[in-house]
Amino acid sequence: MTGRLDRLLRPRSLAFVGGVAAERSIDACRAFGFAGEMWGVNPRRTLSDLPTVASVAELPEGIDAAFVGVDHDATIDTVRQLSEAGVGVAVCHASGFAEVGAAGKVRQVELVEAAGAMAVLGPNCNGLLSAPTGAALWPDAHGLVRRPRGVALLSQSGNIAMNLTMSRRGLDVAWVISLGNQADVGISEAFEAVVVDEATTGVGLCMEGLNDVERFVEAAAVARRRRLPVVAVKVGASPSSGAIAVTHTASLVGDDAAYEALFRKMGIHRVHAIDELVDTLATLSAIGPLRGNRMVSLSCSGGEAALVADRSQGRNLSVPQFAPDHAARVASALDGRVAITNPLDYHTYIWGDLDRLSRCFASVLGADATTPGTTAHGGTHTDTAGGGSGEAPFDAAMLVLDFPAEGLDRSRWWPTMQAFATACANGDTPGVVAASLAENLPDEARSQAAEWGLAACGDIDNALSALEAAAAWGRHLDDTEPEAGLLVVQAREAPLGTSVLPEHEAKPRLAAAGIEVPMGRLVEPQQAAAAADEIGYPVAVKAVGAAHKSDAGGVAVGLTDADSVAAAAGRIAASVGAPAAVGVRAVMVELCITDVVAELLVSVRSSPPVGMVLTVGAGGTLTEVLDDTASLLLPAGGDTLEALRDLRLWPVLAGYRGRPAGAVDAVVNTVKLLETLVRDDDRIIEVEVNPLLVTPHTAVAADALMVLAND
């Protein structure tokens, strides 16, 4: 375990400083079964019948962790005394620090200085719950029970952390850490500490941002090596900084996209709601990574089957139909009375009949209905959803099952879950039980599902999200693991401000890096026609210096003769003008690229604190309208092609309805060259190519901007 926090995760001795809040924490430790030494610190009274001393200086040596429940001013002095006494970690409950403004920020700096080498959790936090030890440095209610192993839940929000402990969704929790203001210990250090503990089975993150990206990346790499599922909710999506709002990328892709790219790169599954976090983490902990994304859904209702089909749309899940021979076996198990489709409505005429349900579900999963560990064909699977590949027909199965309310007879529902569990076990197929309404999956059903080796999700959407996460996790684990230290290129700050290089200055830099740009000239308007004759037609005439030339009427394209070039150059120079740096009213005359298959946007931009973010997407004048982008962290490696395939524009690039395909290899190479340019020039804060014109044979940067940090 990491040195600073091991005494927090598994403390053997605790101290409690303060009054009411300290007593609540003491009572929580007793109720939780903490068996180590506990001491109170209060100059006026005894705390909850503990051995109580008047000052921190009177505590015995070697206290592992202390709960500090005094006001913000007294917290600073107390932390200084705890540090001098050699206490391992201080949990600071008080508010009134950086979250309240300038004066609070000063107090927070003083708090960290007072702590010295001692770790500080908080301030403005609920603290820690340790189910393996029973330690509860936590002055509020919680719903955890003692257990030796489980997931770790790390939350910047104390109230969300408390709410997570109250969940009844079958998630085994070992640690909850409320981080508060993260004045010292941040979510990255806490993540690092829990992933190396052998009792940790997974990690859930509720976060607003990161304070140490490199540490976070290293911790995620450890989680991958240990095959621990990690699921994150990130709140507080931030707008782009004003320094780089000049580009299309800034208006399309906020800084939140950098976190999305970081999570994807590190194999962390992002969700957007707390219930989804709990269900997804519980499912991943129960079934592990999937070998693929093919799933089958079972329900006794056509409406539920249709709902599953609808809700699986747009997810990276495959819901394949049964191969003919497979469908025949399923139909036989259902006496030929049911249309065999996936999702499958097996109807209610076998409801409550364990034997017939078992035969039905076993036929669906290619399993023997009675003998554990075998298939319907003996030994290995020969049945697939597509027919004959020698693999299991599905990578996962979902059963939709809503139980009656408390007090009603549930006896006829249990055979369905039991038959499903048997078929999943015998067919070596991970299984998930979900209800159409979360309240219809009672605690009893969740517990029984876990006992039978199934995962349980509150509703269909969460179940599908969890299966999608399990499939993505399996793909991530199959990928070749790069060195952790090379996973993220650090973001770049511009403390002295930035300067924007317009197209006529940015494109020569691109050309010097090996990126193809159109032949062009920067000329005075009266020289435009001669320049066009030299370049060759058709040409474009562009304004110089405008960031969004099309919006300003600063572009004329497809010009095929000298007269039209001269007229366009005069109009553009008069209406748009030229920047002072150029010194004259100038225009760009540039060769038009023909046979264009698609227009792309390609950019690299600094997104502190996460890293340098590559964005690819639909480009041109409709960039914001189409809003079709994918983002990756640098180095992108071999992920660029996958990002292109994720675009809605991909069918056009691939050759839509017999039309020519674009030179995708040239696009990927352009991205590599752009990445090298940014890597080699640490002044570049952002570079955007829009559009990158893709033809059947090449990719050409038709327009570009750069944002540089000032010297």
Helix axes 158-165, 274-287, angle to 10 degrees: 50
Please tell me which residue, 711 or 683, carries the higher pLDDT value.
Answer: 683
User: What total of structural domains would you count in the chain?
Assistant: 4
| DSSP per-residue codes, 301-361 | -HHHHHHHHHHTTTSS-B-PPPPHHHHHHHHHHTTT-S---SSEE--STTTT-HHHHHHHH
Determine the pLDDT at residue 42: 97
Q: Are residues 39 and 132 in the same domain?
A: yes
Using the 8-state DSSP alphabet, how is residue 582 labeled?
A: T
Using the 8-state DSSP alphabet, how is residue 178 labeled?
A: E
Determine the pLDDT at residue 550: 66
Over its C-alpha atoms, the chain yields an Rg (Å, rounded) of 31
Q: Give the CA dihedral 694, 698, 704, 706, nearest 10 degrees.
A: 120
Domain stop point among 565, 591, 617: 591
Structure-token match 């320094």, residue found: 243
Candidate from 252-266, 383-397, 502-516 with smallest mean pLDDT: 383-397
100 part of a folded domain: yes
Q: What is the CATH number of the domain that holds 156?
A: 3.40.50.720
Assess contact for 283 and 455: CB atoms under 8 A: yes
pLDDT band at 491; cut points 50, 70, 90: confident
Determine the pLDDT at residue 478: 85
Q: Are residues 50 and 81 in the same domain?
A: yes
Sign of CA dihedral 87, 91, 95, 96: positive
469 part of a folded domain: yes
pLDDT of 294 strictly over 90: yes
Please tell me which residue, 298 or 254, carries the higher pLDDT value.
Answer: 298
Nearest to 622 by CA among 594, 648, 587: 648
Q: Are residues 583 and 616 in the same domain?
A: no
- Please, what's the largest Cα pairwise distance for the chain? 97
Assess contact for 515 and 674: CB atoms under 8 A: yes
Q: What are phi and psi of 220, to 5 degrees?
A: -65, -35
Structure-token match 């023909």, residue found: 594
At residue 608, what is the residue type?
Answer: P
Buried b / exposed e across 375-412, counting CB within 10 Å, b at 16+?
bbeeeebbbbbeeeeebbbbbbbbbbbbbeeeeeeeee
Q: Are residues 120 and 43 in the same domain?
A: yes
- CA distance linking residue 688 with residue 619, whole number of Å: 11
Q: Are residues 332 and 394 in the same domain?
A: yes
Please tell me which residue, 507 or 573, carries the higher pLDDT value.
Answer: 507
Assess contact for 34 and 134: CB atoms under 8 A: yes
Q: What is the CATH number of the domain that holds 381?
A: 3.40.50.261
Domain stop point among 547, 568, 591: 591
Q: Are residues 355 and 424 in the same domain?
A: yes
pLDDT of 254 strictly over 90: no
Determine the pLDDT at residue 249: 46
Determine the pLDDT at residue 186: 95
Domain stop point among 574, 591, 608: 591
Secondary structure percentages of the chain, helix, strand, coil, to 5:
35, 20, 40
Q: Are residues 548 and 667 in the same domain?
A: no
pLDDT band at 475; cut points 50, 70, 90: very high
Nearest to 692 by CA among 624, 638, 616: 616
SS3 280: helix
Q: What is the CATH number of the domain that holds 534?
A: 3.30.1490.20
Assess contact for 671 and 640: CB atoms under 8 A: yes
Q: Are residues 667 and 705 in the same domain?
A: yes
237 part of a folded domain: no
Please tell me which residue, 545 or 286, carries the higher pLDDT value.
Answer: 286
pLDDT of 107 strictly over 50: yes
Q: Could you read off the pLDDT of 595-653 as tens digits, one per residue?
A: 999 999 999 999 988 999 999 999 887 777 778 899 999 998 888 999 999 999 999 99
Q: Are residues 145 and 48 in the same domain?
A: yes
**In sequence order, what are the residues at sequence separation of 6 or more whose Cβ sits closer than 8 angstroms to the Cβ of residue 77?**
114
SS3 189: helix
400 part of a folded domain: yes
Helix intervals (H) in 513-622: 528-535, 562-576
Assess contact for 108 and 95: CB atoms under 8 A: no
pLDDT band at 257; cut points 50, 70, 90: confident
pLDDT of 469 strictly over 80: yes
Q: Are residues 57 and 163 in the same domain?
A: yes
Q: Are residues 326 and 345 in the same domain?
A: yes
Two tokens at 71? Answer: 């006001």
462 part of a folded domain: yes
Assess contact for 438 and 374: CB atoms under 8 A: no
Q: Could you read off the pLDDT of 187-224 as tens digits, one per residue?
A: 999 999 999 999 999 999 999 888 899 999 999 999 99
263 part of a folded domain: no
390 part of a folded domain: yes
212 part of a folded domain: no
Q: Are residues 411 and 523 in the same domain?
A: no
pLDDT band at 373; cut points 50, 70, 90: very low
Q: Could you read off the pLDDT of 112-154 as tens digits, one per residue?
A: 999 999 999 999 999 999 999 999 999 999 999 999 999 999 9
pLDDT band at 237; cut points 50, 70, 90: low
From first CA to last CA, the distance across the chain in angstroms is 42
Determine the pLDDT at residue 188: 96
The pTM of the full predicted model, rounded to 2 decimals, is 0.88
Q: What are phi and psi of 421, to 5 degrees?
A: -60, -40
Average pLDDT, integer, range 307-332 = 94
Please tell me which residue, 640 or 495, carries the higher pLDDT value.
Answer: 640
**Average pLDDT over all residues of the chain:** 89
Q: What is the CATH number of the domain that holds 679?
A: 3.30.470.20
Assess contact for 279 and 466: CB atoms under 8 A: yes
CA distances from 491 to 185, 212, 267 (A): 22, 12, 20
At residue 709, what is the residue type?
Answer: A
Label the pairing between strands 431-434 and 119-121. Answer: unpaired
- CA distance linking residue 500 with residue 245, whole number of Å: 11
Sign of CA dihedral 227, 233, 236, 240: positive
Look up the domain containing 620 and give its range.
598-709
